[in-house]
Amino acid sequence: MNATFTLDGRPVAFSEGQTILQAAVAAGAYIPHLCFHPDFKPHGSCKVCTVKVGGRHAASCTTRATAGAVVESDTPELNAERLALVQMLFVEGNHFCPSCEKSGDCKLQATAYDLGMSTPHFDHFYPDRPVDASHPDMLLDFNRCILCSLCVRASRDVDGKNVFALAGRGIRTRLIANSRTGRLADTSFSHQDKAAHVCPVGVILHKRRGFETPFGTRVFDRKPISARADSTAEIAAVEADGS
C-alpha cells in the first residue's frame, strides 16, 4: 500500500520518488502550475505551484512527497501569491487574449481566470519582441513567452536537436531559436517534434491551422482548469494533436 500525505485535508497516495505535484496530478487533485509537464524532469521555473509543507513554502513540482506531510495549497495566502506571479507574467510579455490563437487552450489565461484575475495590477512592460514566420510549417510569437523552458527541454531531451535556448540574464532573459541567424527556418525544427506541442501559451503555433476550433468550444472554455484534475494529461493530448 502506498504511503500518503494530506493535501488541504485530503489524503493523497504517492509512490517512492514522486513529487507532491506528481502525486497530486496522479490522484486527480489540482495544484496550479505552468512550467510542469509529466514527460519532463521538474524544473521549478514559474513557482505558481508553490505550496506550504509543514508551514514552509516549497515548489510542489520539485519537492518530494513524504509520508504524513501536511501540505496546504488552496488557501487565500497562497492563491494571492500565485495571482501576483500570474499578473507579473502578463505584464512582462505582450499577452492580448482576445486576439490570441491560443485563447481558450492557454494555461496562463486559464490559471488567471481561475485565480480571479481581473486586472494586470502592475504597469505593462510592452517589450519589443519579434514574430518569426520564417519556418514553412510553424510560427513563433515570442511576445507570449513566459520562459517556462518546456520547448527547450523537449527539443533537447526528447528531440535531440537543441532548437531552442534561453539567452540573456535577469529581466533580459528571452527565448531564442538556436541558429546562426536566429531564424527558426535555419534550424532542424519539425512540426512533428515534441517541442512543437508543449508550449502552454501561444508562442509555438502551427501554420494554416489557426482558429480551427471556434472560441467557446476550446478546452478551458468548456470547463475551468481547476475543475480539470486531469488537465495536464488532457492539454498534453490536445497539443500533441496539433490543435
**What pLDDT is attached to residue 31?**
97
**What pLDDT is attached to residue 171?**
87
**What pLDDT is attached to residue 123?**
96
Task: Reply yes or no on domain 95-240 having CATH 3.65.10.10.
Answer: no
Model confidence pTM above 0.85: yes
Asked whether the CA dihedral 228, 82, 214, 36 is positive or negative, the reply is: negative
**What pLDDT is attached to residue 228?**
79
Amino acid at 60: S
Block means of pLDDT (10 residues each) for the chain, 243 residues, are 91 96 94 94 92 97 97 98 98 94 96 96 95 98 96 97 96 95 98 97 95 92 85 50 43
Q: Where are the domains of the chain?
A: 3-74, 95-240
**What pLDDT is attached to residue 230?**
56
Cell numbers standing for residue 113? 481566470
Burial (CB count within 10 angstroms: exposed 0-12, middle 13-18, buried 19+), residue 170: exposed
**What pLDDT is attached to residue 43?**
85
Task: Reply yes or no on domain 3-74 having CATH 3.10.20.740.
Answer: yes
**What pLDDT is attached to residue 234?**
54
